[in-house]
Amino acid sequence: MEGLVHALVIAFYVAMSLALAFFVHKVAWFVRFRRLQGELVTAAERKVRDATSEALSAWAERASASWSEASEGGDDADPVAFVRRTEARLEAMDRALREQVVVREWFLERLRAIETGGSAGRLAVLAMPRVEGEPVEVALEMTFPALRPPRPPAEDLYTLEVRSRYGFWRRALVFVLGAADVVYSAHHVARMSQNAEVPIGVILRRLSLVVVILGAIAIDIALSLRVRLIDWTEALLGPPPHLATRLGAIGEAIDPHLATTLALGGWLAVYGAIYFGLYLFLRRRSQLHMRRLEELRAHRQADLDAIRAHHVEELFRWASEYAKTIDDAVDIARRQARLLIARSARRLRRRLASETLVERARVIAAELFERLPESSAGLEDVATRQEHTLLHMLWPRVEEMDYQVALARTRAAWRRLETGLAALRAERPDPAAAYGLWRTVAVIARMFPDVVDEPTRASLDDAYEAAVRALVARTRAELVELDRRLDELADGLEEQLALAAALLETQVELAEQGMEAEVAELAAELLEVREGARLEAMAFEI
C-alpha cells in the first residue's frame, strides 16, 4: 500500500512539472507569436502606405484633371482650396455684418435741432456685403423740419374796458332816486337785448336793480312806511324850535320841514344802501372774471411754453419709439443676411461631402468590417478559425501567419474609412476631411479588389467628377442667388427707411396742429372769461 501511495505522489509531481514546462513553453510561444505578429502587422501597414502612395499618385492625376475641367481653369488648386476661399469670403461678409449702428441715438440727437430751425442728416445704417462687387450701403437720409411755435392768442383777447358809459352824476343819481334808474334800466336792457348771446341771467340781474326800486315803492304804498317814518321822526324831535335858536331866521324856515326832511333822507339812505349793496354784489361777479383774465394775461407766455413743451415731449417720445423700430428693422435685416450667409457656408461644406461619397464609404467599410474578427457575434471568428500545423503549435512559423497581414491591411483600411466618416458627421465637416475621404475610398477600392469590383471602382471615379462639377456649379449658382437675396434685403430695408422722413414730417405737422388746437382752446377760454366779465359788467353798469 505504501508503494502505491509513493507512486501516486511521484506521478503527481511529474504531472505538475510537465504542466509547468508546458506553461513556460506557451508563454515563450506567445511572446514569439506576438513579436512575429507585430512585425507582420508593421510590415503590412508599411506595404499599405506604399501601395496607398502609388494609388494616390494615380488618383491625384485623375482628380487634378477632373478638377481642372470642373473649375474651368480657376485659380484654386483643388476643391479644398476652392471651398476654403469661398468660405473665407463668406466669413468676411459675416464679420462685416456684425458691425452695428445705433439709429435711435443719432435720430434723437438730430431731432433736437427742430426747435432751432431743423436740419438734415444722413446715416449709413448697414453695409450689405456681396460676394461679387462692392457692398450695398443702406443709408437713412432725413430732413428734420423746424417745429414752428404756436401763434399766440390775439392781444386784444386779454383786454377789457369796464368803464360805464354813463357819467358820474347820472350814476350817482340812481343811488338816491330810484325813478331815474327805472328809465336807465329800461333803456339799458333794450340795448343789451340786441345781442342774442347775452344770457337771460345777465338781463335778470340787471333788472334786479329795478326790482329794488319797485319793491321800495310797493312797500311805501302798502304800508305808508314813509309817512310813518315822518311821524316817528316828528315824535322823536318833539315840538319846534329845533334849529331856530342856533341858526336864527334860517333855522326858523327849516324847523317846520325838518322832520319831513330827516325822514325822507333816512328813507333814501336805506334804499340807497340796499341798492348799493346789490350793486357791489353784481360788480364782484364781474371782478372774478376780470381776475381770471388777469391771471391768464400774467401766465400767457408760460401757458404757450407749456403747450409747446408738452407737444415737443410727445414728439420725442414718438421719435424714440419709432427710431427703435428702425433699429429693429436693421437688426432683422442683418440677422437674415447672416443666416443666408451661414446657410451658404454650411451647404458649401456639405457639398463636397456628398451623399454619394458617404454611402459608398459606408458600404465599403461594412464589407471590410465583415472580414475582421470584430464582426463576429460569437466566440469563433475569422482568426480563430485558421488551421495550423503541429510545428506551428510547437513554435510560431511566419509562413503560416499570412492571414495576420490580410487582417492588418483590412483593419487599417476599415479604421481609415470610419475615421473619415466620423469627421463628416460634424455639423460643419472639414472640406479637407471630405477630400481626404474621397482619396481614401478610391485607394481602398483599388487595394481590395475582392471587396470592390471593377464597375464599382469605375463608378467612384465618375462620382468624384460629378461631385466636383456639382460643387463648382452649385456653389457659383448659390453665390449668385445669395447676392440676389442680399440685394432684396437691402432694397426692402431702404424702402422702410424711405418712409422715415415722411413719417417724421407728418408727426411734426400733427404736433404743430396739436399746439394750434390747444392755443385755440386757450383763446376760447380767454374769450369766454372776457365775455363773462363784460356781460357781468353790463349787468351792474349804471
- pLDDT surpasses 70 at 257: no
In order of 96, 340, 351, 428, the CA distances from 346 in angstroms are 19, 10, 9, 6
10 Å CB burial of residue 59 (0-12, 13-18, 19+) is buried
- Number of helical H runs and strand E runs in the chain: 15, 2
Contact yes or no for 366/375 (Cβ under 8 A) = no
Task: Return all residues near 370 (Cβ < 8 A) that are at least 6 apart.
Answer: none
Residues 6+ apart with CB under 8 A from 108: 316, 319, 320, 323
Residue whose C-alpha cell reads 477600392 in the numeric block: 445
Structure-model confidence comparison of residues 194 and 525, the more confident one: 525
Q: Residue 40: inside a domain, yes or no?
A: yes
Q: Which residue has the higher pLDDT, 13 or 169?
A: 13
Output the pLDDT for position 338.
92
Mean pLDDT of the chain: 77
Q: Is residue 330 part of a domain?
A: no
Q: Which of 224-238, 285-299, 313-327, 411-425 has the lowest mean pLDDT?
A: 224-238
HSE (side-chain half, CA atoms, 13 Å) at 395: 0
For 124-146, the three-class secondary structure string (H helix, E strand, C coil) is EEEEECCCCCCCEEEEEEEEECC
Helices (H), 299-353: 300-352
Q: Which of 172, 216, 159, 164 is nearest to 539 (CA)?
A: 164
Residue 475: HSE in the Cβ half-sphere, 13 Å Cα cutoff: 26
Cα(95)–Cα(487) distance, integer angstroms? 18
Give the single-character DSSP code of 159.
-
Structure confidence by residue, pLDDT tens digits, 265-299: 777 777 667 767 777 777 777 788 788 878 888 88
CB 131 within 8 A of CB 479: yes
To the nearest whole percent, how much of the chain has pLDDT over 90? Answer: 7
Q: What is the DSSP letter of 193?
A: T
In the prediction, which pLDDT does 194 show? 64
* pLDDT at residue number 181: 61
| Structural domain range at position 441 | 2-75+354-468
Confirm whether 278 is domain-assigned.
Answer: no
The overall pTM is greater than 0.85:
no
What are the tens digits of pLDDT across the range 56-85? Answer: 666 666 777 777 777 776 677 788 888 888
Whether residue 103 is predicted with pLDDT greater than 70 in this model: the reply is yes
Rg of the chain on CA atoms, in Å: 59
Give domain status of residue 531, yes or no.
no
pLDDT score of 524: 82
Q: Is residue 481 part of a domain?
A: no
Q: Which of 341-345, 416-420, 426-430 has the lowest mean pLDDT?
A: 426-430
* pLDDT at site 321: 92
For residue 150, what pLDDT band results from cuts at 50, 70 and 90?
confident
- Phi, then psi, of 476 in degrees rounded to 5: -65, -45
State residue 337's pLDDT score: 93
Q: Is the model's pLDDT at 484 over the cut of 90? A: yes
Give the count of domains, the chain: 1
Q: Which three three-digit cell numbers place residue 497?
A: 427707411
Residue 339 has what pLDDT? 93
Higher pLDDT, 467 or 239: 467
Give domain status of residue 15, yes or no: yes
Each residue of 196-246: pLDDT tens digit? 666 666 666 666 666 766 676 677 667 666 666 766 776 666 666 656 556
Mean pLDDT, to the nearest integer, of 468-483?
Answer: 87
Cα gap 381→368, rounded to integer Å: 14
What confidence tens digit (pLDDT) does each residue in 104-129 have? 888 888 888 776 666 778 888 888 99
In tens, the pLDDT along 359-397 reads 888 888 888 788 777 777 676 666 666 666 667 666 676
Q: What are phi and psi of 143, to 5 degrees?
A: -115, 115
DSSP H/E element including 225: helix 225-237
Task: Render pLDDT for 157-184 as a digit per residue (tens, 0 to 9).
Answer: 777 766 665 665 666 666 556 556 666 6
What's the pLDDT band for 486 if we cut at 50, 70, 90? very high
Q: How many residues does the chain have?
A: 542
Mean pLDDT of 459-478: 82
pLDDT at 94 over 80: yes
**pLDDT category of residue 483 using cuts at 50, 70 and 90:** very high
Cell digits of residue 484: 440676389
Span of 353-357, 438-442, 534-538 with lowest mean pLDDT: 534-538
Residue 88 lies in a domain: no
Task: Assess if residue 195 is contained within a domain.
Answer: no
- Tell me, what's the pLDDT at 86? 87
